Amino acid sequence: MISTLFNEILYRPLLNALVFLYNTISFGDLGVAIILLTILIRLILFPLFYKGAKDQAIIQRLAPKIKEIQKNHKEDKQKQATAMMELYKQHKVNPLSGFLLLLIQLPILIALYWVFLKGLSEQSFNILYSFVSRPDTLDHYFLGLIDLSAKNIIVVVAAALVQYFQGKLSLPKNNKPTKDLSPAERIGRQMVFIGPVLTLVILYNLPSAVGLYWLTTSLFSVIQQIIINKRITKHEA
């Protein structure tokens, strides 16, 4: 039952969208089709991604106030939790938005993994919709240079670097030494490095098609984060 739902709600639509883009507006370049599919997914999910990224950026900026609440109510955890929820409510943020965003991304990423892993074979074309033409041939190369069915360290490193840059953008600017940071601030700084390292480890042995997706979605996140930072700065001014 779960497998059927996964196939019909995520895997099959994404596979058909990829083949449709490949047949129509990607000039027969699978890499271009993957980039277009990634942009389409991000545009559809933009409200969720934007809200999650914005909440996390605001929470990072609230770190000093969070630290103050923890200090003032260190003997009473209930009052501490109430005060923190009031702070989040005041600034209209959800502390769980980052986790919820991960839950949303994970099944999509798994479905795309199967699309890129199985979707590059003739057998997968048997589940194309009637209005999606079966391609005569499927060129696995991006710009004639990168074999998307094989791993590629250049794509993996590029995806990790862009993710690192996006993580840096999400952090508020401050010059405080590490010992003066709150737990939330420390975690935020650590994730800037942990995220790209995990990207390197996870993507290294996967087809570069998955890495190209991650690189494109990370570039989208960078642009989104720049917009968020400008709006937050304007609001604080």
191-210 mean pLDDT? 86
- pLDDT of 99 > 80? The answer is no
Looking at the predicted structure, is the pLDDT value of residue 145 above 70?
yes
Answer whether 232's CB lies under 8 Å from 58's CB.
Answer: yes
pLDDT at 237 over 60: no
- Token pair recorded at residue 214: 């991650």
Q: Which residue has the higher pLDDT, 179 or 29?
A: 29
Reply yes or no on whether the pLDDT at 173 is more than 70.
no
More confident residue, 47 or 217: 217
| Distance, CA of 49 to CA of 38 (rounded, Å) | 13
Q: Six-digit token pair at 160?
A: 């990790």
Contact call for residues 150 and 207 (beta carbons, < 8 A) = yes
pLDDT at 162: 92
Contacts 24+ apart (CB under 8 A), 227-234: 228/50, 228/53, 228/54, 228/57, 229/57, 229/169, 231/54, 232/54, 232/57, 232/58, 232/61
Q: How far apart are CA 17 and CA 129, in angstroms?
A: 10
Is the pLDDT at 24 greater than 80? The verdict is: yes
Most distant CA atoms of the chain, gap in Å: 69
pLDDT of 171: 73
Q: Which two tokens stand for residue 172?
A: 């508020």
The residues pairing with 141 across neighbouring beta strands, listed in sequence order, are: 147
Query: Residue 65 above 70 pLDDT?
Result: yes
Q: Count H helices, E strands: the chain?
A: 10, 2
Which stretch of 27-31, 142-146, 191-195, 199-203 has the lowest confidence by average pLDDT?
A: 191-195
Confidence of residue 156 (pLDDT cuts 50, 70, 90): very high
Total residues belonging to the chain: 237
pLDDT of residue 59 exceeding 80, the answer is no
pLDDT at 119: 59
Adjacent-strand bridge partners of 146: 142
Percentage of the chain beyond pLDDT 70 is 89
Kindly state the tokens that stand for 91: 């600034």
Cβ pair 49, 227 in contact under 8 A: no
What average pLDDT does this structure show over 132-158? 87
